[in-house]
């Protein structure tokens, strides 16, 4: 499939990244464990808590790191140390290289020259336009906001017009306005037919940018596909609440009779309630308490950390 860009730039041919049984270990640490996925045009989010293996996976995709096991190809060619692949792929890494003494134009131009492009000036101009940094391109990077620096790095990664763009935590440290701008940019690149993969450890961030998501937990692919399906999986998981009231024992008996509750434990500090459905339980509790003239003093969801949500997905 071929998609034409709006501003008469060369047509973007869509590319497919294919991972089959990819693993990577560092000594005894298994950073990526038997990951199989396929990515093609559009924006995909790579979601996972810190240390899940996202950076390792992106670096393998970009051909900077060899898989310990498995195959990783871009349109059928292995990415590892393959210059032909580097020409079709761009990576915006997580660590921010400081080039504060350069202007955006100089920085992006240097990237164009590294790629030995036939007309580096024109390529740099196009990439800077694409990230809407033309007005500020002659200022030193040191004077930019975090968002502007990130856009400059995206321009440098896009200067050779790659079909695939990989971004490691591109929204880190951005304010909401900068975030929105970057989201718009990724959308337009995806709509133009490019294959875009960005990593994040923030659920809401991925939800706003991408309908398709790959979830990684402890090196493994825990879930993949449509965001809404995965979101539903996450919210439908069992929830645990700590409840304190004026009569915990009576409340425990009443709660056990409610269909939203799957388990109740009573101890000296109060109740630990397990519920299958978050909404149904939080709606039922006040009614149950009111009917028995029990006052609820505290209702706290427990174990709501992102890590626990992710772990649930792995176990599901």
Residues that bind ligand ATP (CB under 6 A): 26, 29, 31, 48, 50-56, 201
Contact assessment for residue 199 and residue 58, using Cβ atoms and an 8 Å cutoff: yes
- C-alpha closest to that of 87 among 117, 123, 42, 124: 117
If the CB atoms of residues 26 and 268 are measured against ligand ATP, the closer one turns out to be: 26
* Shortest reach from residue 200's CB to ligand ATP, in Å: 9
Whole-number Å distance between alpha carbons of 182 and 170: 8
Tokens representing residue 188 in the block: 């337009």
* Shortest reach from residue 94's CB to ligand ATP, in Å: 6
If the CB atoms of residues 53 and 190 are measured against ligand ATP, the closer one turns out to be: 53
* Shortest reach from residue 48's CB to ligand ATP, in Å: 5
Whole-number Å distance between alpha carbons of 90 and 5: 18
* Shortest reach from residue 100's CB to ligand ATP, in Å: 24
Whole-number Å distance between alpha carbons of 268 and 265: 10
* Shortest reach from residue 128's CB to ligand ATP, in Å: 28
* Shortest reach from residue 296's CB to ligand ATP, in Å: 38
* Shortest reach from residue 31's CB to ligand ATP, in Å: 3
If the CB atoms of residues 217 and 264 are measured against ligand ATP, the closer one turns out to be: 217
If the CB atoms of residues 153 and 201 are measured against ligand ATP, the closer one turns out to be: 201
Number of C-alpha atoms within 13 angstroms, CB side, residue 250?
12
If the CB atoms of residues 31 and 284 are measured against ligand ATP, the closer one turns out to be: 31
If the CB atoms of residues 159 and 222 are measured against ligand ATP, the closer one turns out to be: 222
If the CB atoms of residues 12 and 46 are measured against ligand ATP, the closer one turns out to be: 46
Distances from the Cα of 101 to the Cα of 94, 134, 149, 216, 300, angstroms:
20, 18, 12, 37, 50
């Amino acid at each position: 499939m071929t998609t034409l860009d709006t501003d008469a730039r060369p047509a973007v041919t869509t590319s497919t990244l294919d991972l089959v049984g990819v693993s990577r270990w560092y000594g005894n640490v298994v950073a990526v464990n038997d990951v199989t996925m396929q990515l093609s045009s559009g924006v995909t989010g790579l979601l996972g808590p810190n240390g899940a293996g996202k950076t390792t996976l992106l670096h393998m995709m970009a051909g900077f790191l060899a898989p310990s096991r498995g195959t990783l190809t871009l349109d059928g060619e292995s990415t590892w140390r393959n210059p032909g692949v580097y020409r079709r792929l761009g990576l915006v890494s997580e660590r921010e290289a400081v080039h504060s003494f350069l202007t955006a134009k100089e920085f992006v131009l240097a990237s164009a020259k590294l790629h030995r492009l036939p007309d580096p000036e024109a390529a740099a101009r196009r990439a800077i336009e694409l990230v809407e940094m033309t007005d500020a391109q002659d200022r030193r990077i040191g004077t930019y906001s975090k968002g502007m620096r990130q856009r400059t790095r995206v321009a440098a990664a896009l200067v050779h017009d790659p079909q695939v763009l990989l971004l490691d935590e591109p929204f880190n440290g951005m304010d909401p306005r900068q975030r929105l701008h970057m989201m718009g940019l990724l959308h337009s690149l995806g709509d133009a037919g490019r294959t875009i993969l960005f990593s994040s450890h923030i659920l809401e961030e991925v939800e706003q940018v991408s309908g398709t998501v790959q979830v990684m937990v402890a090196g493994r692919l825990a879930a993949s596909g449509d965001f809404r399906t995965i979101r539903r999986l996450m919210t439908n998981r069992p929830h645990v609440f700590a409840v304190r009231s004026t009569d915990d024992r009576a409340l425990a008996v009443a709660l056990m009779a409610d269909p939203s509750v799957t388990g109740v434990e009573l101890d000296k500090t109060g109740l630990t309630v397990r519920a299958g459905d978050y909404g149904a339980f939080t709606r039922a509790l006040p009614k149950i308490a009111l009917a028995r003239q029990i006052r609820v003093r505290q209702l706290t969801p427990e174990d709501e950390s992102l890590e626990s949500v992710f772990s649930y997905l792995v176990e599901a």
